[in-house]
Structure 1
Amino acid sequence: MESPTDTPDRRFLDPVLQREFAVEIVRRLKEANFTALWAGGCVRDHLLGKMPKDYDVATSATPKQVKKVFAKRKTVDVGASFGVIMVVGPRGAGEVEVATFRSDGSYSDGRRPDSVTFSSPEEDAQRRDFTINGMFFDPLEHKVLDFVGGERDLSQGYIRAIGDPHARMREDKLRMLRAIRFTASLEFGLARTTKAAVTEMAPQIHVVSAERIAAELRRILTDQHRHVAVALANEVGLLREILPEVVLHGQNSADPESESRKPQQVLATSENLSPQLTALRLLQEPSFELAFAMLLRDVSNVEAICRRLKLSNDELERTAWLVRQQDALREPDKLRLAQLKRLLAHPFRDDLLSLMRATLFSERADLHPVLFCEQFLEATPPDVLNPPPLVTGNDLIAVGLKPGPRFKQLLDEACDAQLNGELISHEAAM
């Protein structure tokens, strides 16, 4: 048996091979006289005409029986006590999560069931989060099994909790944030009863770990409809619970007057968006750090927020730098040459220019600063923009200087003079 770290790298997956392997999993289980169906998000994506990123199979086979059926394949116990086995496919096909049909017991920790009971497809569907994620599909017979009204909500465009929405949110509080993400990314509406439950229970999001909340924020902020998700999170009270430092100014309501209108329709024009959300919307395929910096651009304690969410050091560094430097290039033609070159040679430069462009657009301001920087970059060779230093620390040590505050000051002064064109040789710099 392999460890989870040995599973295939998703960068090298072939969607066609993934699908074929997911079909093969169902076929093999059926040949062994078990019920087997695609389940959850892959069914939703398939019915929407999208190629699923991964596949889940639900089956009447127990974990022990699943491993016996796929004895010649590598398997991973990712949650055997919950009836979940990962079956690893051939190169390029990835892996398929195979789970036994089950009913969940109570959720005392607000995340995982305290116990599970193996059950039927009908009962299994009832434990899932939203109707559009609660359907099954038989890829051999091309038949949908829907016990929760998922096909109706998928066709009408609604995110609706299965059964009692309060109960579904109590089981896993992160479902509140997932409801926001699905509503925005799929361009759906959020069903009234589900929205009411999220609004009422929003303060309970704090029982969810910072890491899980951050993972959802990464998905939300890198999605095309990130501005809709943020507006909706603000409306139901989740934004002030997760990011109380962020205050959205102006009109940002994503609430339609009737359930027949979707949040995207309400927020379709810039008149319904604050400059903050307009700028967030205008970002083109941003990194998480760029989108997060845009959301935090009026906040002073960015590092503390990143630490609270337990972001990586790289994410913290990039986000904080972008917020600090957001106005540094507002008047690039008035900067000293050394300062301009340092900023434009910085590894986060492209994100900074993207942030500036979206901000200026949202303010209906002149794009001259961005155009100036782009023209400067085009006209400046890389070895002039960021040349090797004429003087190094070793040079200073060689002439008897010891590292310290003055040591760094001398190196910075020499670098500035070099970037300004005042020094052109090692001898002159020394």
Structure 2
Amino acid sequence: MATLNRVAAARVSPTVALPGRGFGLKCESATQRVETMNNSNTRREFALYVARELHEAGYQALWAGGCVRDALLKRAPTDYDVATDARPEEVRKVFGRHRTVPVGASFGVMLVTAPRSEDNVEVATFRKEGPYLDGRRPDSVQYCTPEEDARRRDFTINGMFYDPINDEVLDFVGGQEDLKLGIVRAIGDAHHRITEDKLRMLRAVRIAATLEFTIDPSTAAAIAEMATEIAVVSVERIAHELARMLVCPRRVRALESLRELGLLRMILPEIIPNLNEVDSVEHWGKTLRMLDEFEVMSFELAFAVLLREVPIQQCKEDDDSAARDAARAKVVEQICRRLKLSNQQTERTCWLVEHRHALRDAPQLPLHVLKRLLVQPGAKEMLMLNRIAAVATEADLTAVEFTERFYSETPAEELNPHELINGGDLIAAGLSPGPGFKEILDSIRDRQLDGEMTTREAALTFVDQIVSGKTIEENS
């Protein structure tokens, strides 16, 4: 069984108060241990359970990467990874075939499944890696010591280990010092680290923004020099990092770093013309002010703010704002499709861009128009978008406050009441299905939302009048 050699042990930092001991896990069977976990800390406790099982089987087992960094910063880790000297087949032997999944066996990675899937833990064998010829993944791996494993990782603050059994931090790369300094620094040569995986450029920006750290000058210089090479990374991975930046409360800091390092023009070239105009400083500043208005924003809202004025070419100068917003929504849809966002993300982002001015004259809108807008899935985000746009431009807030008050004070059954009749009622009244069905039903619905028609009987009388030859216009 591998143990720390004298050199490694000499580099182990003093004991650090991290959550490890005292979780109350009993020393019975593995099954009993899992079943006695405290539900409030199941993720952490399952990671401790995994480390203990490996340790008791004679292997070294350390928590690795981001969970160590976050714990040292007194932030709650979102997940836990375990690094070990046990080979994948040995990990499987410890936990059993039914509780292990080879998610990356060729790279020494096994998934140990927990009672709750969100608590699953990846267990990776200490490894050093061969060249990254495709700029994404190593061509080969070789099992190694903890120190060698640490030195192949991306940034110093992510390269530390924690031994939850002996309550010790193992830091071979100076991560603790960079945590104190608030620096995101590549391990070893920055160009080499980025060449291995170009996504590390975006990860550096996101981590620095999230933690409110600065990027080490040599690491930042390497990113700026290699920014164009982000193109070799799959759009799915790029979109994932971008989404994590935009939902982060420090999204403005992340976007500024992306722009300064030359990454923004590679990720979202469509918005670059806006940044190159004479008034680009004012335009970009307005965007950042809007994104900084609320700490919590959905990805779709933040992305809509970022793309709300993406340049368009097919509109005429005399087109109204609704036509221009509709044209922008089509461009935004192309961007979302290029980034392979989900249908839900795409639809919500495009809807927000297309309707960003829809509530500009809310106090004067017919009730049926206002209510139809406010029952849409993105209504709350549309209200937020209206407020942040008004605040960023120091515009009058009358319409914004009216809409927010109307939305909060109008009961749900009044905002979106049950329909008075449906298509079956039209057929029963003697009408044949066809394009006119929607027109009739929409007309009745509008009257209902405006408070002009409140009963099923009134709606059926309206239909009878249509059947008898009166037009919708005559009943308007």
Shift of 1:273: 7.2
Q: Which of 148, 151, 167 is 1:123 aligned to? A: 148
Shift of 1:19: 2.1
Query: What letter is aligned with 1:70?
Result: F
Report the counterpart of residue 429 of structure 1 in structure 2.
462
Report the counterpart of residue 317 of structure 1 in structure 2.
347
Report the counterpart of residue 136 of structure 1 in structure 2.
161
Task: Work out whether residues 87 and 108 of structure 2, in 8 Å CA contact, stay in contact via their aligned partners in 1.
Answer: yes
CA distance in 2, matches of 1:404, 1:195: 62
Q: Which of 43, 46, 68 is 2:68 aligned to? A: 43
Percentage of identical aligned residues: 54
Task: Work out whether residues 17 and 93 of structure 1, in 8 Å CA contact, stay in contact via their aligned partners in 2.
Answer: no
Q: Give the 3-state SS of the residue equivalent to 2:269 in structure 1.
A: coil
TM alignment of 1:207-286, pairs within 5 A: 207-247=232-272, 274-286=285-297
Distance 1:188 1:14, change over 3 A: farther
Report the counterpart of residue 364 of structure 1 in structure 2.
394
Task: Work out whether residues 283 and 291 of structure 1, in 8 Å CA contact, stay in contact via their aligned partners in 2.
Answer: no
Task: Work out whether residues 29 and 35 of structure 1, in 8 Å CA contact, stay in contact via their aligned partners in 2.
Answer: yes
Task: Work out whether residues 184 and 228 of structure 1, in 8 Å CA contact, stay in contact via their aligned partners in 2.
Answer: yes
Q: Which of 159, 164, 186 is 2:184 aligned to? A: 159
Task: Indicate the larger mover: 32-41 or 67-76.
Answer: 67-76
Q: Which runs of 5+ in 2 are unaligned?
A: 1-36, 311-327, 464-476
Query: What letter is aligned with 1:162?
Result: I
TM alignment of 1:22-41, pairs within 5 A: 22-41=47-66
Distance 1:56 1:151, change over 3 A: same
Quote the RMSD (CA, aligned, Å). Answer: 2.4
Distance 1:136 1:381, change over 3 A: closer
Distance 1:367 1:75, change over 3 A: same
CA distance in 2, matches of 1:423, 1:276: 43
CA distance in 2, matches of 1:176, 1:355: 30
Report the counterpart of residue 261 of structure 1 in structure 2.
none
Report the counterpart of residue 349 of structure 1 in structure 2.
379
Residues 1:295 and 2:325 aligned together: no
Q: Give the 3-state SS of the residue equivalent to 2:63 in structure 1.
A: strand
Residues 1:380 and 2:417 aligned together: no
Q: Give the 3-state SS of the residue equivalent to 1:97 in structure 2.
A: strand
CA distance in 2, matches of 1:369, 1:289: 23
Task: Work out whether residues 290 and 389 of structure 2, in 8 Å CA contact, stay in contact via their aligned partners in 1.
Answer: yes
Residues 1:66 and 2:91 aligned together: yes
Distance 1:14 1:155, change over 3 A: farther
Query: What letter is aligned with 2:286?
Result: P
Report the counterpart of residue 410 of structure 1 in structure 2.
440
User: Residue deviations 1:369-424, cap 9 Å, x none?
Assistant: 22101222344332322223334223334445444444333332332233223334
Alignment size in residue pairs = 401
Shift of 1:354: 1.1
Task: Work out whether residues 204 and 215 of structure 2, in 8 Å CA contact, stay in contact via their aligned partners in 1.
Answer: yes
Report the counterpart of residue 169 of structure 1 in structure 2.
194
Q: Which of 96, 111, 115 is 1:86 aligned to? A: 111
Distance 1:108 1:404, change over 3 A: farther
Task: Indicate the larger mover: 93-102 or 343-352.
Answer: 93-102
Q: Give the 3-state SS of the residue equivalent to 2:292 in structure 1.
A: helix
Q: Which of 124, 139, 162 is 1:114 aligned to? A: 139
Task: Work out whether residues 208 and 215 of structure 2, in 8 Å CA contact, stay in contact via their aligned partners in 1.
Answer: yes
Report the counterpart of residue 198 of structure 1 in structure 2.
223
Structure 1 ranges of 4+ moved more than 6 A: none
TM alignment of 1:89-108, pairs within 5 A: 89-90=114-115, 94-108=119-133
Distance 1:51 1:413, change over 3 A: same
Task: Work out whether residues 36 and 57 of structure 1, in 8 Å CA contact, stay in contact via their aligned partners in 2.
Answer: yes
CA distance in 1, matches of 2:392, 2:306: 13
Task: Work out whether residues 390 and 429 of structure 1, in 8 Å CA contact, stay in contact via their aligned partners in 2.
Answer: no
Report the counterpart of residue 186 of structure 1 in structure 2.
211
Task: Work out whether residues 391 and 429 of structure 1, in 8 Å CA contact, stay in contact via their aligned partners in 2.
Answer: no
Q: Give the 3-state SS of the residue equivalent to 2:136 in structure 1.
A: coil
Report the counterpart of residue 473 of structure 2 in structure 1.
none
Task: Work out whether residues 160 and 190 of structure 1, in 8 Å CA contact, stay in contact via their aligned partners in 2.
Answer: yes
Task: Work out whether residues 421 and 460 of structure 2, in 8 Å CA contact, stay in contact via their aligned partners in 1.
Answer: no
CA distance in 1, matches of 2:125, 2:185: 24
Q: Which of 82, 100, 115 is 1:57 aligned to? A: 82
Task: Work out whether residues 60 and 86 of structure 2, in 8 Å CA contact, stay in contact via their aligned partners in 1.
Answer: yes
Q: Give the 3-state SS of the residue equivalent to 1:245 in structure 2.
A: helix
Distance 1:159 1:99, change over 3 A: same
* Larger CA Rg, structure 1 vs 2: 2
Distance 1:30 1:154, change over 3 A: same
Query: What letter is aligned with 1:281?
Result: D
